[in-house]
Amino acid sequence: MNVEIWSDIACPWCYIGKRRFDVALARFEHRDAVEVRWRSFELDPSAPKVRDEPYLDRLATKYRMSLPEADALIDQMIEAGARNGVVLRFDKAKPANTFDAHRLLHLAADRGAQAELTDKLFRSTFTKGEPTADPDVLVAVATEAGLDAGEARAVLDGDAYAAEVRADERRAADLGITSVPFFVMGGAFGVSGAQSPDVLVEVLEEAWAAQGS
């Protein structure tokens, strides 16, 4: 059974959602028959390569809320992350453009290392506070995930996988996906948001049963 997950590494709830999905998949009886594919989604395609604005200020501006309200939302995300083994450092994180990161994730999918690279990109962005578009950072993270540094560099130096990223984004639009994470299980069952492992297991079971596997 195929599971597709639209996500962006600039999204803290996607980081939490991945951990919750990992827990759900580990609990799913037929987990060895599940093929997971991470799909590209840019929350802000126009984001600059470098962003210096503090996360708190950007959050307040984006959602038109006061700084105390934004600070409360950050606390909520930090607490949710901690409950799921995710360390979120919003005092350091400054996620910017993620297009090149998504291109590397397509390379990783071809090399069987997409889940590992997804984890490490989230950690680089939200735990270590590293820039999301810096080529040297991206190559280093890709190497940590088991990819060849030269191959990763070659992807970043050209336009490889750009069409694949855009195809994922067009399909998301066709499916009506406007926020991430978004899970499509068995090609038919959609789940929006960083749902609990219990909910995700339930949908996995429904999708499995629907396929008559």
Tell whether pTM > 0.85. yes
Euclidean distance between CA atoms 206 and 185, whole angstroms? 9
Please give the residue range of the domain that contains residue 115: 2-211
Mean pLDDT of the chain: 97
CB-CB contact of 77 with 88 (8 Å): yes
For the chain, what is the domain count? 1
Place of tokens 């840019």: 42
Whole-number Å distance between alpha carbons of 57 and 87: 20
Rounded alpha-carbon distances, angstroms, from residue 75 to 64, 84, 111: 17, 14, 37
Average pLDDT over residues 57-80: 95
Give residue-wise pLDDT tens across range 89-142.
Answer: 999 999 999 999 999 999 999 999 999 999 999 999 999 999 999 999 999 999
* Per-residue confidence (pLDDT) for residue 1, from 0 to 100: 97
> Which run of H or of E encompasses 76?
helix 67-83
CATH number of the domain residue 120 falls in: 3.40.30.10
